[in-house]
Amino acid sequence: NAGVMQNPRHLVRRRGQEARLRCSPMKGHSHVYWYRQLPEEGLKFMVYLQKENIIDESGMPKERFSAEFPKEGPSILRIQQVVRGDSAAYFCASSPPDTINEKLFFGSGTQLSVL
Amino acid sequence: DQQVKQNSPSLSVQEGRISILNCDYTNSMFDYFLWYKKYPAEGPTFLISISSIKDKNEDGRFTVFLNKSAKHLSLHIVPSQPGDSAVYFCAASEHNNDMRFGAGTRLTVKP
């Protein structure tokens, strides 16, 4: 009965490196959402995915950021050539399929620190 | 493009008194509203929700009020307890699970 699992919990990268954040949704959930929380700010929507499909990526920065949710395996949020401004907590959430107005279940987040 | 706004970054109340957290939204297409609670180093957890067809929903000490004409909702916690101290996020969605969050209000309940 595991909840939404995110790993790693903490990730340290130097400027210019790549960061890969993983999210395994709750069992039976096929919708995944990524949010970013900058220091002293709220949760900013980034992307909404279903299996093998990006439904809404309106919150994703135009460059360096990408997300996927393959048929098998976890959802991945990838940040290429990280910069200090990417330092934030990244939260993943999931919801069941074929539902509307369903509450989201969040993971504990990945804290990304860019040195 | 902040569609959901929580204008009070912090709120402090005495134990036993009422806590009122406010939230405003700009998108009239939002039809489902939620409150989440977040402790440090944890992900947000769902607290209570309300559909746009209602104006009030109550769950124990927590009540959410929705004023559609004013595009405003509020969360009332009564009586407030020290364990309620957390950051509270207001969220709204447009019938498609695409949820938008406010900036959060940090509630401190003093014993």
Inform me whether the pLDDT recorded for B12 exceeds 90: yes
Q: What band does A102 get if pLDDT is binned at 50, 70 and 90?
A: confident
CB contact under 8 A, B104 and A103: no
- What's the pLDDT score for residue B96? 62
- What's the pLDDT score for residue B97? 60
The mean per-residue pLDDT over the stretch B59-87 comes to: 97
Inform me whether the pLDDT recorded for A1 exceeds 60: no
Query: Taking CB atoms and an 8 Å cutoff, what residues of chain B touch A100?
Result: 95-97
Residue B91, min C-alpha distance to chain A (Å): 10
Per-residue pLDDT reduced to its tens digit, B89-98: 999 988 666 7
DSSP result, A18-62: -EEEEEEPPTT--EEEEEEE-TT--EEEEEEEETTEEEE-TTS-S
Token digits for A14?
A: 């130097």
Interface of A with B (CB under 8 A): 4, 6, 31, 33, 35, 41-45, 48, 55-56, 91, 93, 95, 99-109
Inform me whether the pLDDT recorded for A40 exceeds 80: no
Q: What band does B99 get if pLDDT is binned at 50, 70 and 90?
A: confident
CB contact under 8 A, B102 and A42: yes
Average pLDDT, chain B: 93
CB contact under 8 A, A42 and B44: no
The mean per-residue pLDDT over the stretch A62-70 comes to: 95
- What's the pLDDT score for residue B18? 98
Query: Taking CB atoms and an 8 Å cutoff, what residues of chain A touch B101?
Result: 35, 42-45
- What's the pLDDT score for residue A100? 64
Q: What band does A101 get if pLDDT is binned at 50, 70 and 90?
A: low
Taking CB atoms and an 8 Å cut-off, how many pairs form between chains A and B? 60
